[in-house]
Structure formats: C-alpha cells, structure tokens
Chain A
Amino acid sequence: MRLPPFDYHAPHTLEELLTLLAQHGPAARVMGGGTDLLRALKTGKVCCEHLIGVKGVQELGGVEFDEIQGLRVGAHAVLADVERHPAVRARYPALAAALDTLATVQVRHKATVAGNLCNASPCADTATPLMAHGARLELVRPSGQREVRVEEFFRGPGRTLLEADEVVTCIRVPPPRARLRTHFSKFSPRSRVDIAMVNLTVAMVLDGDLVEHVELFLGTVAPTPMRALRTEAVLRGQRLDAERIRAAAAAAQAECRPITDMRATKEYKARLVHAMTQRALESLAVVR
C-alpha cells in the first residue's frame, strides 16, 4: 500500500518542532515509532499534509530515574528501552510487566511509550500501570507548557486532549510511595503477541492487612482506560480479606463498561474483570 503524499519534517530541536506545529497545526501529525500511524496512513484511516518525526529531537529522548524526581520517559524513548531500564524493573514492576507483554520484540524496539498513549486505544498496555503510578504527561505548545495526568489525557477511543499544535515531550512518573505494591495483568487468547481482551493494574499500600491506599485501573472495558473508583471505595480503609476481595471483584465487574465485539461478549469481559481483579488483590494480599 502506498503512503499518501505528505511533507516529512525531521526537526532536531524542540524549538524547531514547535515552530513546525505552530505553522501546520491541524494539518500535521507527530510520529514516534510510527508502528500504528504509518499503517493508519496507508489504509487511509488517518490523513495529514505534514508528518513530523520526533526521533531526531534530542530533548525528547532518554529514560532517567532519580529518587526525587522519579522516572522520566522521553517522548521518543522506545518501549524496549523502558522495559530494560533497571529502575523500571525495580521500582515500577507493573509497568515493566506491561511492556513485557506488549506486541512483539520488533515493535517494542520501534514503538514509543508516548505513542502508545497518544494512539489512545482503550487497551493500550502501558496506560493502566502508568495511571496507577500517578504518571503525568508533559505537553508543550508554542504558547506554553502543561502537565496532565494520564487518566485525564484520554478522551475516547483514538482521542486525547492534545491540541493541534501541542506535543508530548515526556512522561513523568513520581517515585513510588513507600510500601507501594502493584500488580499488572492481561488476558489475551494467545500467551504472547496479542492484544488485551482485558488488562488492569492495581496499586496498593497495606498497613497490616488494612488497605491504606488503593487505585485500580481497567483497560479495554470502557472507551478509555478507566479508574475503578467504586471498587476502590469498597477496599479503601478495609481489611483485605477473602470476603472483601470478593466484594471488590464484584464491584469491578459491575462498574466496568465493556462492549460486545468479535473478540468476546461484554458479559464475558466483565467476568474477566471479576476474575482478574480477584486474582490481583489475592496476590497483593499474599505479597505483604
């Protein structure tokens, strides 16, 4: 398939990038690894007059961690670089686990975390672990800079709150709070190289067996990755015993909003949410 005609720009600095965005705005698309975008262009699902590749913009690269700032993932850092980073493996295991299941080795060496988020698929594997870790996206446009939480970033399938002249520069993940436990899980028919039927991340701090802090995020079961607030409410401040876990699993099943498609019925996906939530909580209860 032929790519439609467009002008390709490869800026070297953020300033050049912003100038291009200011110039072309709505007629431009920003490309990270291009693993989704190029195919969408070829099949006509997306069209643009200007394609701006960001891999040459030095400010947008790198994966760094320090105990005060936490993790910074540059907008063109590829999934494999993040997955392999020792701090990610040690401090953000849910994110590492999600990256480990995502797509194929080849795609992980091409695609970016920022791209995974900007693509705004409800089943983006990096979304729920980043949300559970309180990650924020740093967005820059010619008129200024802002930071938004990942959960605010999604607006619907394929839609984000990025403005036409705005670009993601990096993802910042705060250092995990003390005693934080996280759990990522993904269900797909194939063990590997598959898209999630349901994915989820739980982040929790336990004080003894009391739930001091909990956040639960579900993927693929709503138009965007969603926070399961009612489920969290069932758990927060409560004893994490078998009965509570069952109640939370039931709450998660009730509050998710999946659709029926060729992959599965909505009822089945909700059952999966139940089973996976229960298992995630059980494993967190055991880990302490």
Chain B
Amino acid sequence: MKPGRETLIGQRIPRPDARDKVTGAALYTDDLHLPGMLHGAMLRSPLAHARIRGIDVSRALALPGVKCVITGQDVPAVRYGNWRLVPELQDETALARETVRFIGDEVAALAAVDRDTALEALDLIRVDYEELPGVFSVDEALAAGAPAVHAEHPDNISLTREIDYGDLERAFAEADYVREDTFTTHAVSHAYLEPCSVLARAEPDGRLTVWTSTQTPYYIQCLLARTLGLRENEVRVIKPCVGGGFGGKMELRPWEFAAAWMARATRRPVKITLDRQEELAAGRRRHPVRIRTKIGFRRDGTLTGKSVTAHLDGGAYNGMGPTATFLIGNFGAMLYRFPAYRYRGIYVYTNNTPAGAMRGFGAPQALFAGEMQMNLAARELGIDPIELRLKNAMRPGDEIPGVATISSCGFRECLEEVRRLSDWDRRRAAPQPGQGLGLACYSFISGGVFNWFDTRYPFSSAEVKVFDDGTAQLTTLAADIGQGSDLILVQILAEELGLRVADVRLLTGDTAACPQSDLGTWGSRVTLMAGNAVREAAREIKHKLYEMVSLRLDLNVIHELECGDGHIYPKSRPSKRIPFGEVVAMAQRANRGRPLKATGYYTPRDCGLVSPAFSFGAQVADVRVDLATGHVRVQGMTTVHDCGTEINPMAVEGQLEGSIQMSLGYALSEELITERGRTLNASLLDYKVPVAEDMPPSRSRTVETYEPAGPFGAKEAGEGLACPTAPAIAHAVLEATGYCCKDLPIRPEKILEHLAGG
C-alpha cells in the first residue's frame, strides 16, 4: 500500500449494483425479450437407465404454436465437456442419442410460441424406452457384474487420481497413535436464486448470439461452437446479471445447445428457462463422497502421516468430476505438515443425477473428514484441538511436494486469534449441557493453475482505455455472478490510476467485445488473476502517461511519478501535479490523436499444480442442542481468516455471511434425498435451505498478510470460507452431546438416536 495518499484498497465501498438488484431493476437472462421470441423446454428422461428405441415427436409438432422439436437423432452427436485437454473425459452429448443415464437426462427439446404451449407439447412426445438395470451408489456401481453406466467403462470407474509423497509405512510405524475413520458427505444443491436461463438469436449473417446465465462465457462460446459446428469466433456469448452460480453454471449445458440449435433452425430467438423443480431434480449438485482416512501422530501430537481414499459418486457423467477427484486429495494435504501423505481418489459413475463443481469444490468434503478427524484425535490424545493444530500448522514456504508451495500463510495467527475471539479456553473449561464449541479450519486456492480446458489464451485479460476527460474504461470477460468482483476490479484499476471508482466504466460479459480471454468465475480466481491483468494494463497506461509528465515537467530521470486524486505528479513534488485527463490529452497529441489503451494479461506459471496462492482460516461454531428434539441451533460463528489484503472488506464480509448460510444448510438441513436415482424433494418446501432467522450472529477478523502473487497482496475470500462451517458445527455437536457425526447432514434424528443409546 502506498503511504502518503488516500488508498482505495481496503475501503468499505458498497456495490453499485445492489440497489438495482434488490428493487428488481437489474436484468437477468429471463428478463430479456426479443421480438418473435420462442420459448423452449427440455424433455427429460423419467428413467434412470434405459435404451431409447424410438421417439415420436409428430403429435408435439402438430400442436399449434410448436415451431421446432429436436431429438438426439436430429443433431450431431458431438461429445463435449470442460476437460478438452483429455477428450476421453468428454462423455456427454447435449441430447441423449441411444441411452439415457439418469432421471432428468435430456432427451429432446422443443420451441413454441409461449412457454405453456411448449410444456404442453412436451407431454405429446412419445419415447419408447427399454429400461436397463441401474446402479445408484458407489458400492452398487463397483460390485462385480454391475451394469455399466458407460460401455467404455465396464467397471464404472471413470478415473483415479493419486498423490503420494514421503514414506507412509514408516510414518504409521513410527506413530504412537493411529486412527482410521470413514466419513460420508451428501448431495446438496447450489440453490442459486436465479435458475438457469438462456436466450439465443441467430444473426442474419449466420453467426450466433447467446445470452446465458453462466459463470464462464468463454467456455460456453467454445463448446457451443464445437457442438454446433461453428467456428469459435462465430459465437458471441453475453452474460447478463447472474443470480449466483456457486459452480453450477460453469459448463455448457444441454439447454444452451438446444436454444442455439433451435434459434438457427427457426430463425427466431429462443429462450429456455429452467424451473426450480428441474434445477433440484436434474441440476448439478455437490459430489457425495465417501472418505476413508487414516492418520498417525506421535504422543506429543506431531503428525507423522496421513492416507486418504475417496470414492466420489459422480452420477451419470464426468462434468467437472475429474477436477474434484484431484482436489479432494490436494485439500486433504493442506493445513498441516504431513511428512508422508498418500491419496487415492476414485471417480465412480452411477445412474444418479450428475454432480459437478460446487463452492469449495472438493474442499467441503475433504475438510469435513480431515477436520473432524483432527478433532477426534485431539480428544483421544488429550490435547486441545487448537494446540494440536498449532503444533502441525503449515507455515509460509511450506511445500506439498510436487503439488504446491505455500507463499503467504497466516494460519497460526488465525488459530491464536480465533481462540481469543471465541472465548475458547474459558468456554471449554466450563461446559454446559447441550452446548458446545466446535472448531474447524480451511485452506483454499486463489484460482487454479490447471488448464484442463486447454485454452490457448491467457487465463485473464483486461483492456484499459483512458480518456482526456479524466475517466477510464475497463473491459474484461471476468464474470461477476453476484460475488461482487466487478467492483473489486474497478477498485483495483481506480487505485492504480489514482481515479475514483465513479470515474471507471466497466464493460464486461461479452465474448465479442472483451479481450481474449478470461476463464470465468470458479476456483476463487477472479480477484487474483483478473486483478493482476487489470494491474498490468494500468501499469502500461501509466508508463505512457508518465513519459508525458516527465517531458512536460522536464524531470530529472531519478524522479518517481505517481497517480492520485485524479492527477499525476512527481512523488517528491506532489504540488507539481497535472490533471489525469490533461496528461491523456498530451499522450494523444503526441500520437496523432490515437486513443490511449493497453491490455494486460495474467497466466499463472511455475506455481505448482494447484494455485498461485492459498488462503487460510479457522472458525468456531457455538451451538445449543435441544436434547429433547435433537434440534441444533447455531448461536454464533466466529471466524478468523487470512485472505491477504482485503480489497473491499464489505465484499469479504458478504462472502463470509453467504458462506455461513450455505454451509449451515450443508451441515444441518439441506440434502437431496434420492431413491433409485429419483430426487424426492425437488422443491424448496422440502429442500431445506436455511432462512434469515436461522442465521447465527457472526464475528470475524482477518489477520494481516501480504500475498506477493496477488494484486495489492490479495488472495481468495469466496470459497474457502464455505468449508469449515460443517465440521465446526459437527465438532460442536460432538462436544454438546457426545454424538459424532461422520455422515452429513447432522439430522436431529441422528442425535436423538445417539442419546437414546441407539
């Protein structure tokens, strides 16, 4: 941070889009209407596994108002998926051709003059299915002779991933205390406020424009082009306001393909918006995982090693599963110094609804297992859980061999501070029946370095233009999906150029107008990666402007210049300042009027297999359990975290509150209940997302660190926070009742069964 002038970094600046969003003025995809627009709908399989013998669409086509019906036979069978790097992992087609693999698998799509007609027409499509036996759990899928979900994988194992370092056998042999536990986690929904929606328009020149609710406009552009047989540049994807994604909107989805195809076929715009029932029954979800984990300690609590085996129930398709399979292993090795570590992750196909990326992406599962096991070990070793962690906590410079190197790390400070802030020692010394404090920690990535998409562009790009009226324009494909990254990037640019936030116009969310490229919002990457791209562009602009100022002021070459307060000036002589716009005008005059612009890029290099930077944090849950009903009331959450420099503390707090709400549901009430592949609670009445009144009061602090890889020292604050809440609550429930939850969620029935001695 720069001393001597007002900085925008660390300012509490409210989001400029907040008013429009709460008043309903903001435009989301479904708010868009084009003349002549048709409304589409998807026909989904009612069976979990079946062969399609035939589809009769004649009655649907004959219904007045129906303009187009397509099935898998009408479109090229192009397999797609985000894993372009390994084409064998691309196992999905937009519409099923011969086989359906889950209840909700897309079989046909149609477009009609209005939504009601479209839905009516769906009922008129006759599909002749030959039902096949299915597999609905990891165990069923792996059993000898089990039916194969994909013929290419007769064992139903899509892939395995391994991490291995140190001498694990010796680690366990040298340990004084070894324990082994199995934890299971469940499927939950992203439950974003805005269901998926897409609007596609065929342009007269044969190109295509698609507005869609997505986290990753660039992926949609590329994969749509491939599935439609177009060149990438012929597809323009526009991202309007997005009402949350949480990982659920980062893949090409069948309705995006179907809307685009039907728009080209009918020459009329086509919109498809999913309803909540479709979202809950057939939408992506967090991977249910079974994690077997073995850990060894010396008597004094020093870790000797850990081994983890994870079986992911991937559902019918890979989606982002290969990444999750690796990341569970990565997150299992984080937080503590494991001299030896072995991970084996197995991604299993089933006929359940496919899982996908979801906030934390492997970390909520890995950390539920890892942190609960730490707490159980602490109990048995007779060591305070915070002490046990302090003893083994990662420090700056630590390495996960072959995987990652930790740069900034305030983990120990987080532990010390959360102990103080939660009144940990005093509360634990005086336990009250039915009450308890629980602890869990996290570490998370600040963007992924992996290039499974096999892009040939930089990971993030930002174009900056400056104008002679003292304003600037930032153009980037970085995708704000509600997390508030737009303001963060504007703050970063305004800070660099010494302008006000209001001086910067942001243009974003249009693959045809934004510089190539940006990988979108996932892996908590935007602040670090797009932020660095913005800084690079801003620095190039400043370099050109500083030349002008040096000339005008006839400065000695040793002078450093600075932007601030809408001016540019020598650092040592701030009074000799020239208005920013005037300097821009000078630069333009010096270049025959050419506008002044620069483009910055960021692509991580040479920073391991995972991420350029890691956040850390510790969280304490304070719960009260009703011993008569088993109901868990979370009375307070105390969080201390290390997200590097906070660019905007209000945004960080928003992420924390959202994380607590989401993870409260994950821990206690949310669960997609399925029976032979059918989701039974596909409505928000029975899928229990916590409401405002369930929210506990929250206290939080950040510890001061500076991350050299991040803009102004910043790292992630969006996903890691979603990971410790469930294990912290589970630990608190254990302290309050003696019930140790190893299978999420913590339903009140389970607590009562335990209390009844069951």
Q: Interface of A with B (CB < 8 Å)?
A: 1-2, 187, 189-195, 262-265, 268, 271-272, 274-276, 278-279
Contacts and interface: CB of A to CB of B under 8 A. Distances in A.
Contacts of B376: none
Contact of A190 (B120, B628, B690, B749): B690
B694 interface: yes
A272 B630 CA distance: 9
Contact of B119 (A2, A271, A279): A2
Residue among A187, A190, A278 with the most chain B CB within 10 A?
A190
Interface stretch (B26-34, B215-223, B531-539, B678-686): B678-686
B631 interface: yes
Nearest to A194: B688
A262 B120 contact: no
B629 A191 contact: no
A267 B668 CA distance: 19
Contacts of B673: 262
A192 B689 CA distance: 11
Interface in B102-134: 116-117, 119-120
A150 B577 CA distance: 82
A134 B691 CA distance: 34
Contacts of A278: 628
The 3 closest A-B pairs by CB, nearest first: A2-B116, A275-B628, A191-B693
B681 A1 contact: no
B677 to A, nearest CB: 15
19 contacts: A2-B117, A2-B120, A189-B668, A190-B669, A191-B691, A191-B694, A192-B691, A192-B692, A192-B694, A194-B688, A264-B749, A268-B748, A268-B749, A268-B752, A271-B629, A271-B752, A274-B628, A275-B629, A276-B629
A262 B752 contact: no
Residue among A189, A194, A195, A262 with the most chain B CB within 10 A?
A189
Nearest to B749: A268
B119 A193 contact: no
A187 B633 CA distance: 13
Contact of B691 (A187, A190, A263): A190
Interface string B687-707: 011111110000000000000
Interface in B258-279: none
Contact of B680 (A192, A194, A262, A268): A262
A265 B691 contact: no
A81 to B, nearest CB: 23
A189 B632 CA distance: 9
B749 A192 contact: no
A272 B689 CA distance: 21
Nearest to B120: A2
Interface residues of B, number: 26
B119 A272 contact: no
A37 B752 CA distance: 37
A192 B690 CA distance: 9
A278 B668 CA distance: 25
Given A1-B119, A2-B116, A265 B749 contact: yes
Contacts of A192: 691-694
A262 B752 CA distance: 17
A187 B120 CA distance: 39
B124 to A, nearest CB: 13
Interface in B558-592: none
A189 B669 contact: yes
Given A2-B119, A191-B693, A272 B629 contact: yes
A189 B688 contact: yes
Contacts of B116: 1-2
Interface in B620-641: 626, 628-631
Nearest to A272: B629
A60 B686 CA distance: 33
Given A190-B669, A190-B691, 18 more contacts: A1-B116, A187-B631, A189-B669, A190-B690, A190-B694, A192-B691, A192-B693, A193-B691, A194-B691, A262-B681, A262-B686, A263-B686, A264-B749, A271-B752, A275-B626, A275-B628, A278-B628, A279-B628
A195 B681 CA distance: 13
A195 B685 contact: yes
Interface string B601-637: 0000000000000000000000000101111000000
Residue among B626, B669, B749 with the most chain A CB within 10 A?
B749
A198 to B, nearest CB: 9
B119 A187 contact: no
Contacts of B691: 190-194
Contact of A187 (B629, B680, B685): B629
A271 B749 CA distance: 9
Interface string B362-376: 000000000000000
Contacts of A193: 691
A16 to B, nearest CB: 30
A276 B629 CA distance: 8
Contacts of A275: 626, 628-629
Nearest to A191: B693
Nearest to B629: A275
Interface in B496-527: none
A194 B630 CA distance: 18
A265 B747 CA distance: 11
A189 B669 CA distance: 7
Nearest to B668: A189
A25 B503 CA distance: 68
B63 to A, nearest CB: 12
B666 to A, nearest CB: 13
A268 B758 CA distance: 13
A2 B626 CA distance: 45
B370 to A, nearest CB: 27
Nearest to A249: B628
Contacts of A274: 628
Residue among A2, A195, A265 with the most chain B CB within 10 A?
A2
A53 B603 CA distance: 63
Contacts of B689: 190
A262 B120 CA distance: 30
Contacts of A263: 686
Contacts of B629: 187, 271-272, 275-276
Contacts of B685: 194-195
A195 B669 CA distance: 13
Contacts of A279: 628
Nearest to B684: A193
B560 to A, nearest CB: 57
Contacts of A191: 691, 693-694
Nearest to B673: A262
Contacts of B694: 190-192
Contacts of B752: 268, 271
B692 to A, nearest CB: 8
Contacts of A272: 629
Interface in B661-682: 668-669, 673, 680-681
A193 B685 CA distance: 8
A274 B681 CA distance: 27
A200 to B, nearest CB: 13
A279 B669 CA distance: 23
Given A262-B673, A262-B681, A190 B688 contact: yes
Contacts of B120: 2
Contacts of B668: 189
B232 to A, nearest CB: 37
B335 to A, nearest CB: 31
B681 to A, nearest CB: 6
Nearest to B119: A1
B671 to A, nearest CB: 9
Nearest to B670: A189
A35 B691 CA distance: 21
Contacts of B680: 262
Contacts of B693: 190-192
A272 B681 CA distance: 22
A288 to B, nearest CB: 22
Contacts of B692: 192
A275 B680 CA distance: 28
